[in-house]
């Protein structure tokens, strides 16, 4: 058996999405987020020939008294379907905006190797993060 090795320039990105709608304490289920990501991927692959490989894992974001369940969505430049860095960034930001609107998020954070971007729809702050 012959094993081929393919190497491309490394590029990674991460999105963090809270599993609570706004600060309402109404739960967002992981499957809902998976479905939004999957639909975004399908449209991109079918219409634009862009394949955005994602890994989704559960985590908690902790700040002061806030301990909010989140999903971390990681992206890699998958060697089978390599993308230019600018195309990947554009699509990660686009997916973040889609997730934000679909799942009623006040803000979301995107981490790229060279910068961190916060998208914000509201100035609201979770009361649990405030210093009393």
Give the pLDDT confidence of 53-86 residue by residue, as tens digits. Answer: 999 999 999 988 888 899 999 999 999 999 999 9
Q: For residue 131, is pLDDT > 60?
A: no
Distances in Å between the Cα of 4 and the Cα atoms of 1, 22, 79, 112 are: 10, 47, 12, 29
Q: Dig out the tokens for 28 from the structure.
A: 């967002």
Half-sphere CA count of 7, side-chain side, radius 13 A: 0
Average pLDDT, the chain: 92
Length of the chain as a residue count: 132
Prediction pTM value: 0.89
Domains of the chain as residue ranges with CATH: 12-124 (3.30.70.380)
pLDDT in tens, 87-127: 999 999 999 999 999 999 999 999 999 999 999 987 777 66
What are 103-114's pLDDT values in tens digits? 999 999 999 999
């Amino acid at each position: 058996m012959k094993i081929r090795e393919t190497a491309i320039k490394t590029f990674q990105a991460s999105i963090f999405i809270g599993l609570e709608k706004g600060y309402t304490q109404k739960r967002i289920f992981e499957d809902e987020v998976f479905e939004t990501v999957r639909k975004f991927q399908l449209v991109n692959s079918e219409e634009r020939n862009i394949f955005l490989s994602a890994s989704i894992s559960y985590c908690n974001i902790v700040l002061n008294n806030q301990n909010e369940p989140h999903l971390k969505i990681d992206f890699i430049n998958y060697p089978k379907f390599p993308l230019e860095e600018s195309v990947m960034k554009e699509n990660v930001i686009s997916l973040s905006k889609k997730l934000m609107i679909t799942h009623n998020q006040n803000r979301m954070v995107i981490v790229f190797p060279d910068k961190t971007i916060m998208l914000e729809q509201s100035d609201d702050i979770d009361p649990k993060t405030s210093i009393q």
